[in-house]
């Protein structure tokens, strides 16, 4: 059995959805950021980065969402969550997920985690002001250049969809004008109609 450490509202939702879609046996362990569980010795012994997600496997602990997602797909190849037999399409999937990780997530973090990059309150406020614009530009690029439809990779649902949905849930809080993102909003509705996603949302936020 796998063990996933998560916090509600965090990027760990993507891994949680992927585990459910894959049909793997897992336990979801909730930690509270409000109580700073991620900074306590017990959790730091699991993930010294003090972040989520962290996935405990029979071979060790994995962190970082793109790595965890790929591991899940390879652990349940019959679930078809990644094009494991096509090296180009698999690289394309990884390219999309890494863009979410390295760029889109960082834009979002500038709203609430500005102290990671600056100590000056004015600089932090300047970063926060840029979040709506930068977030919109990221998602418009995805819609125009990366999103194939009806799912991210095209006709087939994949890991990308769980990850894309997770970061899209942050748009309202980041004050991004979602009226300019029709494909993203339609994708969110399609995701929330999936039984696995409904189940995870109930567990994740319950």
For 11-55, give the DSSP string: THHHHHHHHHHHT--EEEEE--TTTTGGGSHHHHTT-TT--S-EE
pLDDT attached to residue 87: 98
Which parts of 70-144 are beta strand (E)?
A: none
**Is 90 exceeded by the pLDDT of residue 37?**
no
For the chain, residues classed under CATH 3.40.30.10 are: 2-80+198-205
| Arithmetic mean of pLDDT, 48-66 | 97
Mean per-residue pLDDT of the chain:
96
List all residues 6 or more positions away from 63 whose beta carbon is below 8 Å from its beta carbon: 47, 49, 51, 53, 54, 55
- % of the chain beyond a pLDDT of 70: 100
Q: Taking residues 88-114, report their average pLDDT.
A: 97
The two structure tokens encoding residue 63? 């962190």
- For the cut 80, the answer to whether the pLDDT of residue 67 exceeds it is yes
Instruction: Assign 204 a pLDDT band (cuts: 50, 70, 90).
Output: confident
6 neighbors 30 (Cβ within 8 angstroms): yes
Q: How much is the average pLDDT of 174-201?
A: 98
pLDDT tier at 33, thresholds 50, 70, 90:
confident
**Residue (of 167, 147, 163, 181) closest to 105 by Cα position:** 167
Does 110 have pLDDT greater than 90? yes
pLDDT for 206: 67
pLDDT score for 205: 75
Q: Tell me where in the chain the CATH 1.20.1050.10 domain(s) lie.
A: 87-194
Burial category of 144 from C-beta neighbours within 10 Å (exposed 0-12, middle 13-18, buried 19 and up): exposed
pLDDT of 112 above 90: yes
Q: Does 87-194 carry CATH code 3.40.1350.10?
A: no
Helix (H) or strand (E) holding 165: helix 159-168
Predicted TM-score of the model (pTM): 0.96
Specify the DSSP class assigned to residue 106: H
Residue 96 has pLDDT above 70, yes or no: yes
| 15-29 pLDDT, tens digit each | 999 999 999 999 999
3-state secondary structure of 197: helix
Structure tokens at 115: 């102290």
Question: What is the β-pairing status of strands 54-57 and 60-63?
Answer: antiparallel
Q: Stretch 112-131: mean pLDDT, rounded?
A: 95
Statement: 2-80+198-205 belongs to CATH 3.40.30.10: yes
What's the CA gap between 140 and 176, in Å, rounded?
11
């Amino acid at each position: 059995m796998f063990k996933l450490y998560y916090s509600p509202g965090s990027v760990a939702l993507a891994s949680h959805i992927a585990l459910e879609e894959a049909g793997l046996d897992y336990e979801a362990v909730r930690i509270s950021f409000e109580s700073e569980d991620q900074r306590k010795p017990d959790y730091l012994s699991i993930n010294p980065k003090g972040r989520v997600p962290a996935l405990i496997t029979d071979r060790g602990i994995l962190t970082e969402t793109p790595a965890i997602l790929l591991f899940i797909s390879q652990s349940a190849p019959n679930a078809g969550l990644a094009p494991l037999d096509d090296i180009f399409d698999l690289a394309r999937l990884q390219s999309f997920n890494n863009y979410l990780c390295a760029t889109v997530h960082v834009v979002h973090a500038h709203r609430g985690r500005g102290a990671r990059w600056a100590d000056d309150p004015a600089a932090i406020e300047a970063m926060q002001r840029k979040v709506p614009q930068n977030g919109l530009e990221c998602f418009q690029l995805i819609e125009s250049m990366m999103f194939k439809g009806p799912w991210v990779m095209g006709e087939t649902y994949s890991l990308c969809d769980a990850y894309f949905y997770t970061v899209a849930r942050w748009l309202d809080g980041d004050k991004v004008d979602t009226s300019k993102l029709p494909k993203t909003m339609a994708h969110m509705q399609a995701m929330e109609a999936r039984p696995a996603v409904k189940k995870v949302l109930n567990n994740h936020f319950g």
